Amino acid sequence: MRDEERRQERLRGQALRVSTWPAIRLSNGRQGPWGVAIANTSHDPIYDVAVGRPRGVTQNGTNIDAISLTLKVLPPGVYFLDPKDKGDDMLTAVSPAGLKPIFRNIDYCAELTFRDSSSAMWRRLRNGQLSSAEATGAP
């Protein structure tokens, strides 16, 4: 049993280092756009990255824009996704210090589906849970 647990951890190693959270981008100490941070803290890129978030509503009733973005490759690093931008301008490499996390509304969270450097498919749900995308029937 212990060997199987170790094998599973090894298989999940890169996927465990990929995460996303809602954030506000800071610029010169001021609040900028609200969006989503995506971090790949592994040493290898991830591939076929799909980022999705349905339209939502803030706690005070303001609409939250939906996100639907597909990337062929995401190198190691931390990135900010501004849903109001389009195309290549939508994703920007940032320092984590330039981001302020949003804590109180899951409607800001995004879901990720991606392929790791071993070609395994993974899904990171909006609640942070990581699962094999093959096991869930994802493409």
pLDDT, one tens digit per residue, over 83-131 is 887 766 678 899 999 999 998 878 889 999 999 999 999 999 999 999 9
Q: Residue 139 falls within a domain, yes or no?
A: no
Residues of the domain holding 23: 2-132
pLDDT of residue 6: 67
- For residue 24, the model assigns a pLDDT of 92
Q: What is the pLDDT of residue 77?
A: 96
Task: Quote the CA–CA distance of 7 and 68 in Å, as a whole number.
Answer: 33
Query: Is 60 within a domain?
Result: yes
**Any domain includes 67:** yes
95 inside domain: yes
Residue 53 burial by CB count (10 A; 0-12/13-18/19+): exposed, middle or buried?
buried
Q: What is the pTM of this model?
A: 0.84
Q: Is there a contact between 115 and 46 (Cβ–Cβ < 8 Å)? A: yes
> Is 137 part of any domain?
no
35 occurs within a structural domain: yes
pLDDT over 50 (residue 137): no
pLDDT at 139: 42
pLDDT tens digits along 2-29 = 766 666 666 778 999 999 999 999 988 8
Work out the pLDDT band at 138, boundaries 50, 70, 90: very low
Give SS3 for 14: coil
Is the CB of residue 76 less than 8 Å from the CB of residue 44?
yes
pLDDT of residue 135: 53
Give Cα separations from 106 to 6, 22, 30, 114 (angstroms).
32, 8, 23, 21
The pair phi, psi for residue 49, each rounded to 5°, is -85, 120
How many domains does the structure of the chain reveal? 1
Of 56-60, 73-77, 79-83, the poorest mean pLDDT is in 56-60
Residue 25 lies in a domain: yes
17 domain-assigned: yes
